[in-house]
Amino acid sequence: MVKLSCRDYGFDCDFESNGDSSNVIEEFGKHTLENHGIEYGKEALMQFILRKS
């Protein structure tokens, strides 16, 4: 199980995504694009996950 949260990446936002890596990548990527206007590629989000572990 992995977790990404907006606050960890400098956003003033309480959004968190938890679960298996593929779901977290999809959910977090969609949230950051729709709510913060930033598009992270799947590879970048996987790097976020790997650096946290």
What average pLDDT score do residues 32-42 get? Answer: 97
Helices 21-36, 42-52: axis angle to 10 degrees equals 120
Question: Tens digits of per-residue pLDDT, 11-28?
Answer: 999 999 999 999 999 999
> pTM for this structure?
0.90
Name 2's bridge partners. 19
Question: Tens digits of per-residue pLDDT, 39-50?
Answer: 999 999 999 999
